[in-house]
Chains A and B, each alone.
Chain A
Amino acid sequence: MFDLENIKTTFAFFDDWEDKYRFLIDLGKSVPALPTEFRVTDNLVRGCQSRVWLLGEYDTGHNQLKFQIDSDAHIVRGLIAIVLATFDGHSPNDIVAYDIEYLFDELDLMNHLSATRGNGLRALVKRINDTAYSYVPL
């Protein structure tokens, strides 16, 4: 759905914050909305100022993790699009091995991963990693 290489290429063109954030917000608009029945406490990612819901499903046959993620904040949805482009449909092993900090650094979005920011990106990434870990063969 989201192509990471496309996102990276687009980000590389931006030389001011306005273009970058307008793109990020646009990107967020294409994240499919999570149906209301899944917007429940059990699916909430704790540690977010905005609400973030995460559903993960493991496809044994293809060894793939599929994610549905949504938020009530525009910029967080944009960040979710990047997270989906990175992790959605990948194997638990690949997810665990991937260093998303490097990606966010490259996109100059590291401030969103900071522990103080409270937008939940860090908590979201941790929960995805924890989910992936639970499916990594011992």
Chain B
Amino acid sequence: MQMGEPYLGSRPEPMSFDTESVRSDFPLIVDSNLVYLDNAATTQKPRVVLDALRTYYETYNANVHRAAHNLSDKATEAFERARQILAKRINAERPHEVIWTSGTTEAINLVANCYAQSQLKEGDEVLISEMEHHSNIVPWQIACAQTGASLKAVRVKPDGVLDLDDFAALLGDATRIVAIAHVSNALGTINPIQQIIAQAHAHGAQVLVDGAQAAAHLNIDVQALGCDFYAFSGHKMYGPTGIGILYGKESLLDELPPWQTGGEMIEEVRLAATTYQSLPYKFEAGTPNIAGAIGFGTAIEYVDGLDGDSLIAHEKQLLESATAGLNAIEGVRIVGTAPEKGPVVSFLVDGSHPTDIGTLLDQQGVAVRTGHHCAMPLMEAFDIPGTVRASFSLYNRLSDVDRLIETVEKARSFV
């Protein structure tokens, strides 16, 4: 495949955020001419994370919590320290409110499954929105099918903003849980979850926030938000794949039955009956992803080492620049124009299918995502086949945005 020519940006980068220094921390980014704009799918990994994985396997690989030897002590200590780092990052009250999962998907499945087992019954309602990722739809469909509860979806307005009137209308005393994205993966819309949580609580409903697209781009404070559950993945915020967390309030997690069962999560097993471990181990059956957790902790430490506010400002600038640039191209329509957005821009080019544009951008060395973004109900509501999605991260430069605009202009000349 031929790539685009190396692009030397002509615009000065903002002073407040040292993009070049950040770029040099990411081997795949710094050694490549690729303009990587598929960060909402997964981010690249800084060297410190890769080193942490390697060091774990090379110098202290052992199973955690069980063995009577020093190597296991060391692994356990690093593993639990990573949990503390995550807890601190999101301002959880206690580290054991952070449950390791394989990612956001597993975290949501855990809650949906436990709710189906113990909380939901016929007549209850689960409230989601039209803009949810399939992984925050399907687990609830199954939970509802198993219990006779019904699933309702809050409408999304044409500009990609959640219809809060519809939310208020659908929310009722039958609502047991509201499961909602903090940031839409397909549109970038930031939902007013603090308000949503307050309204849900007023009706006695609990709230699960799908934070997959938020955790890398916003400062998350679960206590300030007041959410009952918050889920996100490591790989979308510079950590390894196969690791994520479910944050849950202690009292709620204590109430829920275990989900997967096996080793690690039990206190005592007798053939007649078994008692379970306390939090967080009750929800962590089997050998956990030790390397992943340690790598995730390292990724968080890496982000914590950057200035959070200037990082957010940098990503906002990338978004605004891309929005302005795309809007200036005739025949380009941005899908999702909410006033509050994460660094995601979805768009369509008149007379072409998103896959055409994706292919033509790929040929020019720009990596974007095309398709329905695992949000088919949203695409159906908007009556579009999908979109082209460019999503930014801290290592993207303004020149990457320029390159996006140039390549979209060129792609447009093909069709």
Binding site for B on A (CB under 8 A): 16-17, 21-22, 25, 49-51, 71-76, 111, 118-119
Closest 9 CB pairs of A and B: A73-B353, A17-B363, A49-B371, A74-B356, A50-B355, A73-B355, A50-B353, A17-B2, A49-B355
Q: How far is the CA of A23 from the CA of B321 in the complex (A)?
A: 33
Task: Specify which of A71, A75, A111 lies most central, judged by the most chain B CB atoms within 10 Å of its CB.
Answer: A75
Q: Give the interface size bracket for B toward A.
A: 10 to 19
Q: How far is the CA of A25 from the CA of B386 in the complex (A)?
A: 20
- Rounded to whole Å, the gap between the CB of A107 and the closest CB of chain B is 13
In the complex, the answer to whether B359 meets A118 with C-beta atoms within 8 Å is no
Question: In the complex where A16-B2, A49-B370, A50-B353 touch, is A75 in contact with B385 (Cβ < 8 A)?
Answer: no
Q: How far is the CA of A138 from the CA of B352 in the complex (A)?
A: 44
- Rounded to whole Å, the gap between the CB of B4 and the closest CB of chain A is 10
B360 at the interface (CB under 8 A from A): yes
- Rounded to whole Å, the gap between the CB of B292 and the closest CB of chain A is 23
Question: In the complex where A22-B414, A118-B371 touch, is A74 in contact with B386 (Cβ < 8 A)?
Answer: no
Chain B residues whose CB sits within 8 angstroms of the CB of A22 once the complex forms: 414
Partner of A51, one of B1, B356, B370, B385: B385
For window 36-88 of B, CB contacts with A under 8 Å fall at none
Chain A residues whose CB sits within 8 angstroms of the CB of B371 once the complex forms: 49, 118
Partner of A76, one of B355, B360, B386: B355
Chain B residues whose CB sits within 8 angstroms of the CB of A72 once the complex forms: 353, 385
In the complex, the answer to whether A25 meets B370 with C-beta atoms within 8 Å is no
- Rounded to whole Å, the gap between the CB of A19 and the closest CB of chain B is 11
Partner of A73, one of B1, B2, B356, B414: B356
Task: Specify which of A49, A111, A118 lies most central, judged by the most chain B CB atoms within 10 Å of its CB.
Answer: A49
Closest to A76 in B: B355
Chain A residues whose CB sits within 8 angstroms of the CB of B370 once the complex forms: 49
**Binary flags per residue of B1-29, CB closer than 8 Å to A gives 1, else 0:** 11000000000000000000000000000
In the complex, the answer to whether B415 meets A74 with C-beta atoms within 8 Å is yes
- Rounded to whole Å, the gap between the CB of A81 and the closest CB of chain B is 15
**Binary flags per residue of B358-390, CB closer than 8 Å to A gives 1, else 0:** 011001000000111000000000000110000
In the complex, the answer to whether A21 meets B385 with C-beta atoms within 8 Å is no
Task: Specify which of A17, A73, A111 lies most central, judged by the most chain B CB atoms within 10 Å of its CB.
Answer: A73
Q: How far is the CA of A76 from the CA of B359 in the complex (A)?
A: 10
Q: How far is the CA of A25 from the CA of B411 in the complex (A)?
A: 12
Question: In the complex where A49-B370, A50-B385 touch, is A21 in contact with B354 (Cβ < 8 A)?
Answer: no
- Rounded to whole Å, the gap between the CB of B352 and the closest CB of chain A is 6
Chain A residues whose CB sits within 8 angstroms of the CB of B359 once the complex forms: 21, 75, 119
**Binary flags per residue of B381-415, CB closer than 8 Å to A gives 1, else 0:** 00001100000000000000000000000000011
